[in-house]
């Protein structure tokens, strides 16, 4: 895995306490999928402005300079699974998140988010 790649989230989310939930923007009251703790950490940090190497360094620092021996393998596995599930995207360059992905659902101006999402979907098709 090329750790010089940047990563950004690709799903709308809700933050409730320390938990992160994926949101279906069309049906926000539908039962939400809670992310496992490792996935939640990576997802929150996936702002498009940091590389995978920076992710590793940040998480390693949380262990006061003594990260577990398998930390790199764990992060690689988490990132690989999140990329496969299209929760995050890897890229060679810094990426600005669209408004509707930039913060938790609860903090969004919903009308602004809906308009931008609709426009983005129209531009993809």
> pTM for this structure?
0.90
Residue with tokens 């690689």: 76
pLDDT tens by residue, 53-112: 999 999 999 998 799 999 999 999 999 999 999 999 999 999 999 999 999 999 999 999
pLDDT tens by residue, 28-52: 778 788 999 999 999 999 999 999 9
- Residue-level pLDDT at 28: 75
Q: Is the pLDDT of residue 2 over 80?
A: yes
- Residue-level pLDDT at 123: 81
The Cα–Cα gap between 8 and 98 comes to: 11
Count other Cβ atoms within 10 Å, centred on residue 72.
15
């Amino acid at each position: 895995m090329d750790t010089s790649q940047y990563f950004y989230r690709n799903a709308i989310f809700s933050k409730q306490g320390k938990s992160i939930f994926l949101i279906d923007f069309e049906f926000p009251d539908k039962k939400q999928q809670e992310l496992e703790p490792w996935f939640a950490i990576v997802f929150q940090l996936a702002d498009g402005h940091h590389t995978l190497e920076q992710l590793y360094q940040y998480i390693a620092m949380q262990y006061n300079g003594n990260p577990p021996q398998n930390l790199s393998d764990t992060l690689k596995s988490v990132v690989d699974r999140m990329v496969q599930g299209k929760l995050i995207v890897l890229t060679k360059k810094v990426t600005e998140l669209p408004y509707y992905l930039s913060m938790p659902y609860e903090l969004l101006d919903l009308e602004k988010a809906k308009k931008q999402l609709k426009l983005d979907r129209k531009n993809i098709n």
